[in-house]
Structure 1
């Protein structure tokens, strides 16, 4: 169990550092230049993933709350609420990223082409709607999460050392679960649809290039590289999401969380926010060139 906690702490630390690097990088670009929709999306996704990883790190948060003398009940409500908001934002912003890239690479003759020059205008509205919806939708966790008590363990489900979820009316629980599943299935469906659309476009583009040039002269364009990166991220997200969904649904139905299963679930849930910045960094030519430039300057100095 201790080794699993060490893996989780390493995973969290790696994810937080990588996302912080991307957050500062995209913030610098947004403040210093005319921001592109992709930079705005990546900046928000990095911030969301930092908060998401930290709200799942029980040890780090416990130390922080203890040092601030904050009561367990307030700590649990705050942590659960923020975590669920960020989880919802993660799937929504990832879906938005997939849709944005599908519109960006769509041919001029396609239906989506007319949205290319309005993306920035629609993006701000989409951000406001997504944040407002998730802040309101996850508010139920303020009422049904709190500090673990020994009064009646059958009416609460212990999910961490100090926190638990309290039982709610069956109809309310079914309604919340139905809306959550419907939202997630819809967003995952949109991601899979846009991903299939992008794969078709890439395949057509590659087939056309084969007729015009030899394979030895083919080079991946920035748009193609970005599309491949987003497709990889979507695949990661969909796989990790359904594994997490299966574990969470089983726990809710059985009204029981085993400590080992909880740790495995945290590891699965942390894979996407940890992998995302690493994939983005390794596939962004701007970041690679910047790191190479810094490396050469360091060699010159030393």
Structure 2
């Protein structure tokens, strides 16, 4: 085993360890407060959904890919291989759609206090749980076709049109047509990405307007500090730019892998890129959402008393 493979294995398992801990912290904290009878925000359900999807992405892909870099390949039979890969695809779709849902909810919450927006703000919390269920159903049905493409990978297989994923390979030469694949996967993903960028731009615009309105109040303070509007804008930009960057890089690399006979390096690079946002996002959410830290202090204070 060469040193590069060991480093790749360390990278995959580090992603899993860091990312799963961050996402499980959010799930544990919000779930514990719920069972303690605390009043939670509607957005907390979206955060749990995003943390769950990110954890599934890390565990279903990173663990097997890390084992593959260490030489432990073909550990799964055909049924197990299909199940794990299916979970990974569904979790990826849920991560995208939940980020889209989170962006839309935040945009509505900080929208102006006008009659039309007030009515929408009052109705939105009732639609969060049904929207999450729709996301689950949609991505589970969407990725059923992936199960039909999967077959157990072979160590000595190097065929054009077959993409190796360490434990599974996807035969893309005898699958659905390009147009059908675009309708099923590319168009929904592009719509979600467009909405995320639009909602984030709208939030930044609203925060900028608010900052301008209260700038006179801020300038009367003699202590230099970061304006809350500036900090919120920075966090929105950080979360969205992180998601969009890693998602686009992963998508471009995945499309390239479909057009050539990929080397193991391409497969490992794609897996690392795919797992970057699920690893980083919980820490961005914790840092940007002050209420999560208040949740932690509430739980910590109650356990200490």
Q: TM-score, normalised by structure 1?
A: 0.85
Q: Which residue of 1 aligns with 2:72?
A: none
Q: Report matched runs for 1:56-71 at 5 Å.
A: 56-59=61-64, 71=76
- Larger helix proportion of the pair: 1
Cα distance, 1:159 vs. partner? 1.7
Cα distance, 1:229 vs. partner? 3.1
CA distance in 2, matches of 1:262, 1:110: 51
Q: 1:156 to 1:72 in 2, by over 3 A?
A: farther
Q: Please, which of 5, 8, 26 is the counterpart of residue 4 of structure 1?
A: 8
Greater shift, 83-92 or 263-272, is seen at 263-272
CA distance in 2, matches of 1:30, 1:225: 28
Q: Report matched runs for 1:202-281 at 5 Å.
A: 202-214=207-219, 216=221, 228-254=234-260, 256-281=261-286
Q: Which residue of 1 aligns with 2:71?
A: none
1:18 partnered with 2:22: yes
Q: Please, which of 185, 189, 198 is the counterpart of residue 194 of structure 2?
A: 189
Greater shift, 37-46 or 285-294, is seen at 285-294
Q: 1:115 to 1:282 in 2, by over 3 A?
A: same
CA distance in 2, matches of 1:224, 1:23: 28
CA distance in 2, matches of 1:215, 1:189: 39
Q: Which residue of 1 aligns with 2:60?
A: 55
Equivalent pairs counted in the alignment come to: 293
1:29 partnered with 2:33: yes
Cα distance, 1:39 vs. partner? 0.5
Q: 1:175 to 1:124 in 2, by over 3 A?
A: same
Cα distance, 1:161 vs. partner? 3.3
How big is each residue's C-alpha offset from its partner over 1:19-66, in whole Å with a ceiling of 9 and x where there is no partner?
Answer: 111110111233322332211000111111111100112448979xxx
Cα distance, 1:108 vs. partner? 1.3
Q: 1:288 to 1:36 in 2, by over 3 A?
A: closer
Asked whether the 8 Å contact 1:15–1:275 carries over to 2, the reply is yes
Q: 1:173 to 1:151 in 2, by over 3 A?
A: farther
**Runs of at least 5 residues in structure 2 that lack an aligned partner in the other structure:** 69-74
CA distance in 2, matches of 1:27, 1:296: 17
Q: TM-score, normalised by structure 2?
A: 0.84
CA distance in 2, matches of 1:285, 1:271: 23
CA distance in 1, matches of 2:247, 2:59: 19
CA distance in 2, matches of 1:268, 1:190: 22
Q: Which residue of 1 aligns with 2:147?
A: 142
CA distance in 1, matches of 2:274, 2:175: 26
